[in-house]
Amino acid sequence: MPKKPESHLNPRSPLVLDTRELPRRPGAMREIRRVSEAPADLGVEMIGVAQGADLSLDLRLESVSEGVLVSGSVSGPITGECGRCLRTIDDSLTVTVQELFAYENSVTDETTDEDEFGRVQDDLIDLEPAVRDAVVLALPTNPLCREDCPGLCSECGVHWDDLPEDHTHELADPRWAALHNLTNTEE
């Protein structure tokens, strides 16, 4: 089964890791702690990590017989808007990453589909797909500024926290206007 030609990785890309200093014998390990820029579109519709934001990587690269096991944590700021009241959300997120990157011509490389595992390409690892998967899966699909956010008044659109407790809207149905006038007549 012929493999598709792999794209060449740019060693200067923020989430590309160089494994040349990691010996290829099982058990060899190297730790990486660095800050990298976040790629574009790292999030869901209402919340995510802004492009270019600082991502803190605290990773361990470990040689295993089939490739390099990358494990550790990635943390960074998230921004978005509340799904109930549309106020801005500024928070931080820390996710755990663990991914095997198979060596070229290893048994794993030859017996798995191309998208099942990451691949080591010219001693480089592209960590972006693993980071993207971990971050996107950790983000809420309906983010809230706080758990008890009351949202907006459906009639006037003002945040419930900014309205008085007795705030109401009179719902006048024109079909019942005549009856309403009967109950409000002065005697």
Mean pLDDT by 10 residues, the chain (187 residues): 57 88 89 94 93 96 92 96 92 95 74 72 91 95 91 82 79 70 61
- The token pair at 152 is 């907006």
Residue 54 CA, distance from chain mean position: 14
Per-residue confidence (pLDDT) for residue 52, from 0 to 100: 94
Q: Which 3 state secondary structure label does DSSP give 132?
A: helix
Give the DSSP H/E element, type plus range, for residue 70.
Answer: strand 67-81
pLDDT recorded at residue 5: 45
* Close Cβ partners of 148 (under 8 Å, ≥ 6 residues apart): none
Residue 12: predicted pLDDT: 81
Count of other CB atoms within 10 angstroms of residue 19: 20
Single-letter code of the amino acid located at 146: R
> How much is the pLDDT for 46?
93
Residue 68, token pair as written in the block: 């390099």
